Amino acid sequence: MIHADQPHLTVAALSHPGETGKNNEDAFSVTAYQIESDRTPSLLAVIADGIGGHQAGEVAARLAVDTLVHSLAASSGRQPVKQLRAAVVESGRVIARASGESQDLAGMGSTIAVAWVVGPRLYTANVGDSRIYLFRGGILRQISTDHTWVQEALEHNVITPEEARDHPHAHVLRRHLGGVQEPLPDLRLRLSPDESDARSAANQGLRLRSGDQILLCSDGLTDMVTDVELADILSHQAPTPAVQALVDLARAHGGFDNITVILATVPPGLRGPRTFPLTAAVVGVFLLLVLILAGLAILWRFGLWPR
């Protein structure tokens, strides 16, 4: 892919360390590209939330973001799901390698959440509990799946949704980047809580509509702000003030962790690759051939075919 000067979606982003005085161990990136082969616009948004003391979490999050962005920027962009999976795995390898080479960084890790919009189509991947939402038609959907003890307990009916929010194991991660084992990127794009994993995976490449909003955030936002509050702000505010309002609300509710938000909004008239010239040329050649064949048929019918 090649860098582009302007993104084809409207983007607002903000990160804040929170109210506890801790280092900001979140990292994020929003980058605009074009697919080199056909100039299809592309937007890559990624958030990582670091794990580990002595600033190791900060290092892990930055490694996660930089490695993933570098990997995808060097890709063709023509196989998004395959390339997303490979980039997330490589990010985990880089963090694990750095962790093993430095005692100060030992045990560090990171979450990651990625939204990659190629033309009008959305591709996602995540590891950990940083989230991706789709706000469409006034309805907020969490389209990523948390990799936490609480999420697994909910899925197995061990606890109720009411018990989940303030559960003491709410931040026990079941997957993260940087462990001994390679991370398992979650490539489910879940549009309904009842759909199967196979159906969620098949949603990759979701065609976006005008007005759709894609929200990526670290758990510093979702621990402090409910989905109802998220939807209310997105419904009533433009992207830049909405992002500021979300961060302000998380801080007002305690701001116990770093808060990072990316909001990408689909403008009117978003289209895919410009295929019209090629299509028109094919149609033109076809019509020309039809006319030639029709002319030859008339000559033959009236005996005017040259001997």
Closest CA to 18 of 249, 215, 264: 249
On whether both 173 and 302 belong to a single domain, the answer is no
What pLDDT was estimated at residue 70? 98
Residue range 125-138, pLDDT digits in tens: 999 999 999 999 99
Q: How many domains does the chain have?
A: 2
Domain of 38: which CATH number? Answer: 3.60.40.10
Count, residues in the chain: 307
pLDDT of 274 reads: 47
123 and 39 share one domain:
yes
Within this chain, do residues 158 and 291 fall inside the same structural domain, yes or no?
no
- Kindly state whether residues 154 and 131 are assigned to the same domain: yes
| Count helices and strands in the chain by DSSP H and E runs | 9, 12
Confidence tier at 277 by pLDDT (50, 70, 90): very low
Amino acid at site 28: F
Residue type, 141: R
Q: Tokens for 148?
A: 């936490």
240: CB partners within 8 A, 6+ apart: 12
Q: Which residues pair with 126 in a beta bridge?
A: 113, 186
DSSP string over 36-104: TTT--EEEEEEEEEEE-TTTHHHHHHHHHHHHHHHHHHTS-SSSHHHHHHHHHHHHHHHHHHHHHH-GG
Q: Do 286 and 185 share a domain, yes or no? A: no
pLDDT digits (tens, 9 = 90+) for 7-64: 999 999 999 999 999 899 999 999 999 999 899 999 999 999 999 876 899 999 999 9
Q: Is the pLDDT of residue 142 over 70?
A: yes
Whether residue 218 is found in the same domain as residue 167: yes
Residue 285: per-residue pLDDT: 62
- Strand pairing partners for 177? 110
pLDDT at 276 over 50: no
Contact of 29 with 46, CB cutoff 8 Å: yes
pLDDT per position as a tens digit, 228-250: 999 999 999 999 999 999 999 99
Report pLDDT digits (tens) over 70-110: 999 999 999 999 999 999 999 999 999 999 999 999 999 99
Q: Which pLDDT does position 271 carry in this prediction?
A: 64
DSSP 260-307: EEEEEEPPTT------HHHHHHHHHHHHHHHHHHHHHHHHHHTT-S--
**Do the bridges between strand 213-217 and strand 131-136 make them parallel or antiparallel, or are there none, so unpaired?**
antiparallel
Residue 298 sits in the same domain as residue 215: no
**How far, in Å, CA of 136 to CA of 199, rounded?**
19
Please state, rounded to an integer, the average pLDDT across all residues of the chain: 90
The residue type at 18:
G
Quickly list DSSP for 90-119: HHHHHHHHHHHH-GGGTT-EE-EEEEEEET
Instruction: Tell whether 110 and 34 lie within a shared domain.
Output: yes
Among 52, 184, 37, 35, CA closest to 120: 35
What pLDDT band is residue 289 in, cutting at 50, 70 and 90?
confident
Encoding tokens for residue 53? Answer: 């003391």
pLDDT band of 171, cuts 50, 70, 90: confident
**Residues 289, 266: one domain?**
no
Q: Based on the domain organization, do 130 and 205 belong to the same domain?
A: yes
Per the structure, the complete domain to which residue 301 belongs is given by 275-307
Q: Are residues 195 and 304 in the same domain?
A: no
Residues 44 and 133 in one domain: yes
Percent with pLDDT over 70 in the chain: 89
